[in-house]
């Protein structure tokens, strides 16, 4: 037998010579209602006919009325999963109303993947079809308390929507072995499963028959083994494995290596493989047999590795833009919405960083700086975010979380006793906060399509906020705060004098600082001290590279730097070799620069490498793997290399 889905991305038509040897049979869309009715009867529902009619009507209406999202699936696989959940709910407790049970299964199974904008329509349709039915969600309050404790222990902010996403992930893990954890970058997807893993290990102190959450019941107080792979930082051959054509030997890939390793561990503790990277048809299509009910990874060597019941695949992805419907239907989906995650992130940062500053600055009331900053966040940030989305376009597209991450990094650099001592009042804090806001939200603005967004931002800021007055001359970008006076001063005050000897230095190699370059140097110094990545964006010939190289050359002893120039043909293998050229092995899997040195990677022309057919540049995925997980992989031994004491500085020309 051959099964085919012609016309999908990454699929090829069979040649006519092969087609002629097979008898083609077209498979039509089956009658959903009949299948639902039979499955409901098999699960033990007496009113199967009436419930199947409502179920089928709901899914037909959802297909027509909800927004067209690639991750919405109203097909037979999704239907079967809901019916299995409904059956287990029905058998869990005797004497329940069958409409209540199906309603709860439909609501609790589908809510994790539905966008906030579509939620009203979804709940409205459910209410119209199941009139007067609205059973409460089955909640495991003990488990939710443990989740909240773990959230706090990890330095995160406890928030109802975040806790709900963690519970939804655990509920899906009980019935599906593959999960798509979707949402915008920085929305908290990684933290969702990290908190869940910690909560499972902590567990609840209840007898097994009293634990409400099905997944927790099966693995309470077990250690979760997690393995991560970024499929876009390695080739498809390195992902699955390949036969070396010269030696005819089989070479394992990351996926086959990890699946075999986890399958051979004798215990039945939960084991998760996290696939953190963009989805594309090249690597995901070969996973179809692993993701469906077969649970088998079939390798080019004809070896089959079974995904055991306690092993799960979690795909951490942005969207399903390049996934085929065959892939989208095979996994449960939890959509982590951005909502107010930026606010939670700022609160977590305040809890982590500000008390440390208050101790250093010897505040009598150490809670006062946190209170000041939170009030300023409430005053300035929401309105500015709204305006940025409505009226401004950045030179490179940015999400809300990018603005807020930059804001807290700049604030962390400014929170120094020499800037804000223990006698500083709220007005002093507000001045520094405003400066951080201007550069975090407006620093990436430039003229685009004939509109000078930087000038427009300056006008909007002066018109909207009057509590902190900038000097009348020039724009909001022309000033910094002098630490001694606590007042705004022009960047020109920071321009150093140029000492030049024509006998020693060629005129062409001389870098002449200006007020504008002084502002960039100020923030570059700040980020280098914080070990936070920073990127300079601008057209060719504006001095980005000269500025960074000059600054890196002047670093004190103990700080090394490595210049890496990207071009169209830079591949991930050569990039990794360059990254590793300045590292030495420490202990075990740990690597770092020689001795106690720190290493700054300066990546020039970051956006130059060739994009593949699915809009991904593999060298950039490698950087993302390192920044997100703190390691990359030894491509021969397939073991992680944990990289310490390194940092990235990048430049790029958006028009290149």
Q: Given the structure tokens 């720190």, which residue do they identify?
A: 598
CA dist 121 and 300 (Å) reads: 46
Is the separation of the CB atoms in 334 and 276 below 8 Å? Answer: no
Last residue of a domain, one of 303, 336, 369: 336
C-alpha 112/C-alpha 127 separation (Å) is: 18
Q: Rounded distance, CA 287 to CA 284, Å? A: 5
212 & 329 share domain = yes
CA atoms of 98 and 39, how far apart (whole Å): 14
What's residue 583's pLDDT?
Answer: 92
Q: Answer yes or no: is 603 within a domain.
A: yes
Q: Is 159's pLDDT higher than 80?
A: yes
Percent of the chain with pLDDT over 70: 97
| Residue 100, in any domain of the structure | yes
Q: Residues, the chain, total?
A: 656
65 lies in some domain: yes
Shared domain for 308 and 171, answered yes or no, is yes
318/64 Cα distance (integer angstroms): 24
User: Which CATH number goes with the domain that contains 536?
Assistant: 3.40.50.300
Q: Write the DSSP symbol of residue 253.
A: -
Cβ burial, residue 246 (10 Å; 0-12/13-18/19+): exposed
Same domain, yes or no, for 482 and 573? Answer: no
Give the β-pairing of 646-652 and 598-604: parallel
Which residues lie below 8 Å from residue 25, measured CB to CB, with a gap of 6+?
none
pLDDT at 656: 65
Domain encompassing residue 42? 32-129
- Tokens 């179809």 locate to 288
Tens-digit pLDDT profile for residues 54-66:
999 998 999 888 8
650 shares its domain with 528: yes
Do 435 and 548 lie in one domain? The reply is no
Please indicate, yes or no, if residue 322 is contained in any of the structural domains. yes
Q: pLDDT tens digit string along 289-345?
A: 888 888 999 888 888 999 999 999 999 988 888 877 778 788 888 888 877 788 889
- If we measure between CA atoms, which residue out of 522, 521, 513 comes closest to residue 414? 522
- My answer on whether 479 and 523 are in the same domain is no
Structure confidence at residue 7 (pLDDT): 65
Contact 182, 335 (CB under 8 A): yes
Instruction: Evaluate if residue 507 carries a pLDDT over 70.
Output: no
- Classify each residue of 389-404 as buried b or exposed e, where b means 16 or more C-beta atoms within 10 Å of its C-beta: eeebebbeebebbbbb
- Per DSSP, 111 falls in state G
Reported as a single tens digit per residue, the pLDDT across 182-234 is 888 888 889 999 999 999 999 888 888 777 778 888 888 889 999 999 998 88
Q: Mean of the pLDDT values across residues 22-35? A: 87
Nearest to 155 by CA among 350, 327, 4, 373: 350
Among 94, 129, 164, give the residue marking a domain's end. Answer: 129
502 in a domain, yes or no? no
The neighbour count for residue 504, using CB atoms within 10 Å, is 6
Residues 585 and 553 in one domain: yes
Instruction: Tell me the three state secondary structure of residue 274.
Output: strand
CATH of the domain at 87: 1.10.8.710
Residue 628 lies in a domain: yes
* Mean pLDDT rounded to a whole number for the chain: 87
564 and 627, same domain (yes or no): yes
Q: What is the pLDDT of residue 312?
A: 93
Q: Are 271 and 225 in contact (CB under 8 A)?
A: yes
Give the start-end residues of each E strand in 350-433. Answer: none
Task: Evaluate whether residue 507 is within a structural domain.
Answer: no
Each residue of 546-587: pLDDT tens digit? 888 888 888 888 899 999 999 999 999 999 999 999 999 988
Count: domains in the chain: 4
Q: Does 312 lie in the same domain as 207?
A: yes
Report how far residue 286's alpha carbon sits from residue 142's, in angstroms, rounded to the nearest whole number. Answer: 40
369: domain CATH number is 1.10.472.130
pLDDT tens figures, 386-416: 998 888 888 888 888 889 999 999 999 988 8
Whether the CB-CB separation of 622 and 575 falls below 8 Å is answered with yes
Q: Which two tokens stand for residue 584?
A: 């030495």
In a domain, 16, yes or no: no
What the block records as the tokens of 208 is 């097994």
Q: What is the CA radius of gyration of the chain?
A: 28
Q: What would the pLDDT profile of 466-496 be if each residue is shown by its tens digit?
A: 888 888 888 888 888 888 888 888 888 877 7
pLDDT digit string (tens) for 414-438? 888 888 888 878 888 899 999 999 9
DSSP, collapsed to helix, strand or coil, labels residue 251 as strand
Task: Clarify whether residues 299 and 355 are in a common domain.
Answer: no
pTM of the model: 0.87
Q: Does residue 355 carry a pLDDT above 80?
A: yes
Looking at the structure, do residues 558 and 579 belong to the same domain, yes or no?
yes
416 and 466 together in one domain = yes
What pLDDT score was predicted for residue 509?
64
């Amino acid at each position: 037998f051959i099964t085919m889905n012609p016309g999908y991305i990454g699929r090829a038509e069979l040649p006519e010579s092969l087609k002629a040897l097979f008898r083609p049979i077209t498979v039509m869309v089956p009658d959903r209602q009949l299948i639902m009715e039979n499955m409901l009867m098999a699960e033990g529902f007496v009113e199967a006919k009436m419930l199947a009619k409502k179920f089928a009507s709901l899914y037909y209406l959802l297909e027509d009325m909800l927004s067209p999202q690639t991750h919405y699936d109203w097909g037979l696989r999704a239907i079967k999963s809901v019916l299995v959940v409904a059956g287990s709910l029905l058998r869990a407790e005797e004497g329940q109303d069958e409409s209540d049970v199906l309603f709860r299964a439909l609501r609790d199974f589908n809510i994790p993947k539905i966008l906030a904008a579509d939620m009203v329509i979804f709940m409205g349709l459910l209410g119209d079809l199941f009139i007067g039915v609205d059973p409460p969600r089955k909640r495991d309050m003990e488990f939710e308390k443990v989740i909240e404790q773990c959230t706090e222990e990890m330095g995160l902010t406890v928030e109802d929507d975040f806790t709900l996403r963690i519970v939804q992930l655990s509920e899906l893990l009980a019935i599906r072995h593959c999960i798509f954890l979707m949402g915008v970058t920085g929305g908290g997807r990684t933290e969702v499963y990290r908190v869940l893993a910690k909560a499972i290990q902590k567990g609840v102190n209840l007898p097994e028959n009293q634990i409400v959450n099905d997944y927790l019941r099966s693995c309470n107080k077990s250690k979760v083994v997690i393995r991560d792979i970024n499929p876009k930082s390695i080739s498809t051959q390195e992902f699955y494995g390949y036969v070396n054509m010269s030696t005819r030997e089989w070479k394992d890939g990351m996926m086959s290596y990890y699946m075999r390793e986890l399958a051979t561990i004798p215990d039945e503790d939960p084991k998760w493989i996290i696939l953190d990277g963009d989805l594309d048809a090249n690597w995901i299509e070969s996973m179809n047999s692993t993701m469906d009910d077969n649970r088998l990874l079939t390798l080019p060597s004809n070896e089959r590795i079974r995904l055991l019941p306690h092993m799960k695949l979690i795909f951490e992805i942005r969207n399903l833009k390049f996934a085929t419907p065959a892939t989208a239907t095979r996994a449960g989906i939890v959509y982590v919405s951005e909502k107010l995650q930026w606010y939670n992130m700022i609160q977590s940062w305040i809890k982590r960083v500000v008390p440390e500053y208050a101790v250093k600055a010897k505040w009598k009331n150490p809670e006062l700086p946190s209170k000041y900053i939170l009030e300023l966040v409430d005053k300035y940030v929401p309105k500015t975010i709204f305006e940025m989305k409505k009226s401004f376009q950045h030179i490179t597209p940015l999400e809300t979380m990018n603005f807020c991450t930059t804001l807290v990094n700049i604030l962390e650099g400014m929170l120094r006793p020499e800037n804000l001592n223990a006698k500083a009042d709220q007005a002093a804090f507000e001045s520094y906060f405003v400066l951080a806001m201007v550069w975090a939200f407006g620093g990436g603005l430039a003229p685009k399509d004939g509109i000078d967004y930087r000038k427009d931002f300056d006008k909007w800021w002066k018109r909207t906020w009057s509590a902190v007055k900038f000097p009348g001359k020039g724009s909001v970008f022309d000033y910094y705060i002098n630490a001694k006076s606590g007042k705004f001063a022009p960047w020109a005050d920071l321009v150093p004098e140029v000492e030049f000897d024509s006998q020693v230095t060629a005129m062409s190699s001389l870098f002449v600082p200006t007020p504008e370059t002084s502002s960039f140097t100020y923030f570059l110094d700040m980020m280098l001290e914080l070990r936070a990545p920073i990127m300079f964006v601008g057209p060719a010939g504006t001095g980005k590279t000269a500025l960074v190289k000059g600054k890196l050359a002047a670093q004190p002893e103990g700080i090394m730097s490595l210049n890496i120039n990207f071009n169209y043909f830079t591949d991930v293998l050569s990039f990794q070799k360059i990254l590793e050229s300045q590292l030495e092995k420490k202990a075990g899997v740990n690597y770092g620069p020689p001795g106690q040195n720190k290493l700054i990677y300066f990546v020039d022309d970051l956006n130059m490498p060739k994009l593949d057919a699915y809009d991904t540049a593999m060298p950039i995925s490698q950087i993302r793997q390192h920044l997100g997980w703190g390691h990359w992989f030894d491509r021969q031994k397939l073991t992680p290399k944990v990289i310490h004491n390194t940092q990235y500085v990048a430049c790029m020309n958006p028009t290149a």
